Amino acid sequence: MKSCCNKKHEEIRSPLGKARGLGSSKSGFAHWWSQRITALALIPLSIWLLINIQYMFATSHVQATTWLGQPMNAVGVILFIWLSFYHALLGIEVVIQDYVPKKSSKTIGLLFARFFFVLLGFMSAYAVLQTNFGVDNISFVLDDMHDFPISSK
């Protein structure tokens, strides 16, 4: 802010022109609203899951997978995973928008966050579904792996 002679070209633009910029994107509500709704929905879900996980510590692996095999429990866990990942994604997007000034890094960051959380979401949902519809007891899979020729000496 010394003199006007060494100002960059864009700085010569009128303050009103800069303030109007590209105008409004007419979006932002859905993001803001979803963040609040997911937070709200996560309150009862987290309490429910925490209570159940607490019991699970005292039970065997088979009992735990049987618990997860109940349709309502499986749906609850998948819902919890999706909502918490979605909520975290929305939060991380806000942080990136807030603190990453460079346009290119910002776009890459936002895309990466999205891919990362969608991937995590699908992987976790797949794991839950597998215990339901796939191999009944995951320890079979582990046993099989021990018998697998490559893993044995």
CB of 108 to other proteins, least distance (A): 16
What gap in Å lies between CA 86 and CA 33, rounded to an integer?
Answer: 12
From 20-28, 72-80, 111-119, 124-132, give the range in contact with other proteins by CB under 8 A: 20-28
Q: Which of 20, 55, 130, 133 binds other proteins (CB under 8 A)?
A: 20
What gap in Å lies between CA 12 and CA 98, rounded to an integer?
Answer: 26
Residue 1 structure tokens: 């802010």
If the CB atoms of residues 71 and 101 are measured against other proteins, the closer one turns out to be 101
16 lies in the binding site for other proteins (CB under 8 A) = yes
If the CB atoms of residues 76 and 87 are measured against other proteins, the closer one turns out to be 87
What gap in Å lies between CA 152 and CA 57, rounded to an integer?
Answer: 31
Instruction: Tell me which residues in 59-118 interact with other proteins (CB under 8 A).
Output: 94, 97-101
Q: What is the DSSP string of 5-66?
A: TT--GGGGS-HHHHHHTT---S--HHHHHHHHHHHHHHHHHHHHHHHHHHHHTTS-HHHHHH
Q: Which residues bind other proteins (CB under 8 A)?
A: 1-3, 14-16, 18-21, 23-29, 31-33, 94, 97-101
